[in-house]
Structure 1
Amino acid sequence: MADEFMKGLALFCLGGFGWLTFAGWYRTPSFYDISQLFADPRAAESVYDEIGILAGDVFFWLMIIGAVTFWVLVPATREIRSSLAEDTAN
């Protein structure tokens, strides 16, 4: 179980750091606004801006889905699988 926790934590940290980086670049209109990191991204002026905005969204969902997968879904499927194996053994 510790390896699933570490995999989820690694994906959570990697996704979080990537999201913070790209959100700081593309979603922070001013450092004095309250809506930092969650503001609408500014208009993309080049292909690199589009890639940066997309990468920020990808890192955000990697953070959420990666942690949920390894902290909730993998242990739940193992528990279900072991309980079903015990039921068929009895």
Structure 2
Amino acid sequence: MADEFAKGFGILVTAGLGWLTLAGWYNTPGFEDTQLIAPDPAAANFYDTVAILLKDGLFWFAILGALTFWIVIPAIRQAREAYEGRAEN
């Protein structure tokens, strides 16, 4: 179980840092304005568009990746063990 926690934590930290960096660049219009959660700016070129899409992808990868390793995989393993234990009886 510690292995799944470490994997989920690694995904959360790495993808979260990528999201935080890109959100700081593209979604912080000013120091005293809304920071990190301001609306996406109109993309000026191809690289801005790619970065904004990557930012959104990193956000969901951080959330869903951590939940997968912390909740889904342990629940599947526990259900499998319970099912195999019931099948033997």
Same fold, TM-score > 0.5, yes or no? yes
Q: Alignment partner of 1:37: what SS? A: coil
Amino acid at match of 2:16: G
Gaps of 5+ in 1: none
Amino acid at match of 1:8: G
**2 CA distance for matches of 1:48 and 1:7?**
30
Task: Please name the residue that 1:22 is paired with.
Answer: 22
Measured on the aligned residues, the alpha-carbon RMSD in Å equals: 0.6
**1 CA distance for matches of 2:65 and 2:18?**
14
Cα offset for 1:15? 1.0
Cα offset for 1:28? 0.8
Q: With the length of structure 1 as denominator, give the TM-score of the two structures.
A: 0.96
Listed as ranges, the matches of 1:10-49 within 5 Å are: 10-33=10-33, 35-49=34-48
Runs of 4+ aligned residues of structure 1 deviating over 6 Å after TM superposition are none
Identity percentage of aligned residues: 48
Gaps of 5+ in 2: none
Amino acid at match of 2:17: F
Q: With the length of structure 2 as denominator, give the TM-score of the two structures.
A: 0.97
Amino acid at match of 2:81: S
